[in-house]
Structure 1
């Protein structure tokens, strides 16, 4: 029995609960179909108990779920027992950050939208350190270094052999805000230009002239799963981190990123803008 299930384990359990509820069954009735106790079904749905791929497929059969792609994706989640690099930070950082790294590790694609700062996946060391130094809740120097090393390690999903496709929408304000001073910002912008040359990275800017736009004022991170039902939206807010996965929420943020595409600069014009800003520093 798990005392502290990971975000991925919690998500698997939540998806099992959704399937059962759509089938109109109680946890007691589901247990009877499987020949197990009701509390075992509840523990599986709470992520406290593991589920074998065979049992998951049996559950899907009893729940009359005909979505083969979803079933296959959930079965893969049950068989994957990866303990990634993020586990070494288990006692050092909030569990929600570890859950984010696990999400990114398994993601099919990543989409970012930021207004006030460069997205974490694209930050250089000195830029990221300054962001952590100015956090709403003041961090002790050791905590800053833990978060800094964690952020940089998260970026490995963009460099590994099977790199995750990544696209970022960055407001001009973030490109012009000299975080850490002109020298740091110049290196940060150079890093953006270098990353924009990668085949699996797409950068698009929103200029001041656009004015208010969908999602302005918040940082939005969309993590695409193997099937749309397993997508996740991550919101980084001053009062804490939030993970959203309800169908209506996912639909809302998919539409938001689609609307952003209509008002952003092209990748080529985004690079031109970054070059122009660098010359002003």
Structure 2
């Protein structure tokens, strides 16, 4: 039995529980239908034990789930049991950060909106180091370097053979915050410009002149799964990632991101805007 399920394993269990509850069954009733004890159903739904594809299909059948796309998506989650690169940080960094990397790695598409920091996947090494130096409580130099290396390794999703499409909205405030001074900021802005030239990265800027807008003040990271029900929202908080996956929450943040993207400059206008800020440094 797993001592500490990963975020992906926990999410799989949550979705199993949702299917059971929609069928109007208790864990005891579900166990009786499958010929197993109630605690085995509970352990599956808590992510503490694995579920084979055959058992998943049996559960879906007993729960009258006819959505083949959902069953296939859950099947892909339970079939993939490879250990990701983030596991090397298991005893070094907080578990929610590892969950973030795992969810990010498996996402089909990414949407981001930030107002103060450059999105983590777009940060240079020097910029990330300056951000982590501001953490409270203060991090030790080794801890800072572990977090920096972890953040840079996460960026592999943008450069692998089939890179993950990423649509990002950045507020002008984030572009003008000089973490590390003008030299670091100039390099960071040039890195943004280079990334924005990549076909799979859509970078938009919300200028100060846009005034107030929906979602202002938040840092939102939205991970699209194989089906909308398996999307995940991460709200970047000072104490670490906060993950949301309730259907009402997912819909709320889809709307918020849509409004922010509609408020922002288009891709070409955003590149010109970033270039002008960098030029004036």
When structure 1 is superposed on structure 2, of 84-93 and 210-219 the one drifting more is 210-219
- Post-superposition offset of 1:240: 3.2
- Post-superposition offset of 1:212: 1.7
CA–CA distance in 1 between the matches of 2:98 and 2:77? Answer: 17
Which residue is equivalent to 1:116?
116
Which residue is equivalent to 2:148?
148
Which residue is equivalent to 2:35?
35
Which 5+ residue runs of structure 2 have no aligned equivalent?
A: none
- Post-superposition offset of 1:167: 1.2
SS in structure 2 of the partner of residue 261 of structure 1: helix
Deviation string for 1:20-48 (max 9, x for gaps)? 00000000000011000000000000000
CA–CA distance in 2 between the matches of 1:214 and 1:48? Answer: 39
SS in structure 2 of the partner of residue 235 of structure 1: strand
SS in structure 1 of the partner of residue 117 of structure 2: coil
Matched, 1:209 2:205: no
CA–CA distance in 2 between the matches of 1:271 and 1:136? Answer: 33
Is the Cα–Cα contact under 8 Å of residues 110 and 164 in structure 2 kept in the other structure? yes
- Post-superposition offset of 1:261: 2.1
Matched, 1:103 2:103: yes
- Post-superposition offset of 1:136: 2.7
Which residue is equivalent to 1:219?
219
When structure 1 is superposed on structure 2, of 60-69 and 255-264 the one drifting more is 255-264
Which residue is equivalent to 1:19?
19
Q: How does 1:108-187 map to 2 (within 5 A)?
A: 108-187=108-187
SS in structure 1 of the partner of residue 113 of structure 2: strand
Q: TM-score, normalised by structure 1?
A: 0.99
CA–CA distance in 2 between the matches of 1:103 and 1:240? Answer: 15
Number of aligned pairs? 281
Matched, 1:265 2:265: yes
Which 5+ residue runs of structure 1 have no aligned equivalent?
A: none
CA–CA distance in 2 between the matches of 1:22 and 1:214? Answer: 33
Deviation string for 1:65-111 (max 9, x for gaps)? 11100000001111110201000000000100000100111110001
Q: Would you identify which runs of 4 or more consecutive aligned residues in structure 1 move more than 6 Å?
A: none
Q: How does 1:229-244 map to 2 (within 5 A)?
A: 229-244=229-244
Which residue is equivalent to 1:250?
250
- Post-superposition offset of 1:231: 0.1
SS in structure 2 of the partner of residue 12 of structure 1: helix
SS in structure 1 of the partner of residue 262 of structure 2: coil
Is the Cα–Cα contact under 8 Å of residues 169 and 203 in structure 2 kept in the other structure? yes
CA–CA distance in 2 between the matches of 1:116 and 1:258? Answer: 19
- Post-superposition offset of 1:258: 1.2
Is the Cα–Cα contact under 8 Å of residues 100 and 241 in structure 2 kept in the other structure? no
- Post-superposition offset of 1:115: 0.5
Q: How does 1:179-198 map to 2 (within 5 A)?
A: 179-198=179-198
When structure 1 is superposed on structure 2, of 63-72 and 133-142 the one drifting more is 133-142
CA–CA distance in 1 between the matches of 2:241 and 2:193? Answer: 29
Over aligned residues, Cα RMSD in angstroms? 0.7
